[in-house]
Amino acid sequence: MNRKQREIRHKILSIIIVAVIGTWCLAPLAWIFVTSIKPLGTEYRIPVEYWPDQPTLENYRTVLGERFRIQRSILNSVIVSSGSVIGTLTLATLSAYAIARLKFKYRFHTLYMMQIAGMIPPIVVIAPTFVMMRSLGLLRTYWAMILPNMVYALPLSSFLIASYFANVPFELEDAAKIDGAGTFRTIFRIVLPIAAPGIFSAGVLAFLGSWGEFMLANTVSIGSAAVETVPVAIQSLSRAFNLQWAWVAAGTMVTITPILIAVLIFQRVVVTGLSAGGVK
Partner 1 sequence: MTSNKIETRIALALALPAVSGLLIFNYYPIVQSFIYSFFDLDFTTDWLNAPFIGLQNYAAVMASDQFWYTFLFTTGFTIVAVTLDISLGMAFALATFYVPKSMRGILRAFIIVPWAIPKVIQASMWRWMLNSDVGPIGDLLVRIGLVDEPPLFLAERVLAMGSIVAAYTWKGASIAAFFLMGGLALIPGEVRESAIVDGASSIRRFFSITLPIVMPTVFVALLYRSQDALRVFDVVYGLTGGGPGTSTDTLSSFAYNAYFRFAQFGRASTYAVVTFILIGAVGTFYISRVRRNFSFKE
Site membership for partner 1, residue 185 (CB under 8 A): no
Instruction: Classify each residue of 209-241 as buried b or exposed e, where b means 16 or more C-beta atoms within 10 Å of its C-beta.
Output: bbbebeebbbbbbeeeeebbbbbbbbebbbeee
* Shortest separation between residue 190's beta carbon and partner 1, angstroms: 17
Site membership for partner 1, residue 178 (CB under 8 A): no
Pattern 40-59, partner 1, x by CB under 8 A = ---xxxxxx-x---------
The angle formed by the CA atoms of residues 199, 203 and 209, to the nearest 5 degrees, is 145
Could you tell me how far CA 45 lies from the centroid of its own chain?
36
Contact indicator for 246, 181 with CB cutoff of 8 Å: no
Site membership for partner 1, residue 91 (CB under 8 A): yes
Site membership for partner 1, residue 259 (CB under 8 A): yes
User: Looking at beta carbons only, is 199 or 270 nearer to partner 1?
Assistant: 270
Residues in the chain: 280
User: Looking at beta carbons only, is 66 or 124 nearer to partner 1?
Assistant: 124
The residue from 56, 71, 82, 110 that contacts partner 1 (CB under 8 A) is: 110
Site membership for partner 1, residue 102 (CB under 8 A): yes
User: Looking at beta carbons only, is 66 or 171 nearer to partner 1?
Assistant: 171
User: Looking at beta carbons only, is 66 or 245 nearer to partner 1?
Assistant: 245
- Categorise residue 179: left if φ over 0, alpha if ψ from -120 to 50, beta otherwise: alpha
User: Looking at beta carbons only, is 121 or 180 nearer to partner 1?
Assistant: 121
* Shortest separation between residue 66's beta carbon and partner 1, angstroms: 23
Distance, in Å, from the CA atom of 218 to the CA atom of 215, rounded to the nearest integer, reads: 5
Pattern 132-151, partner 1, x by CB under 8 A = x--------------xx-xx
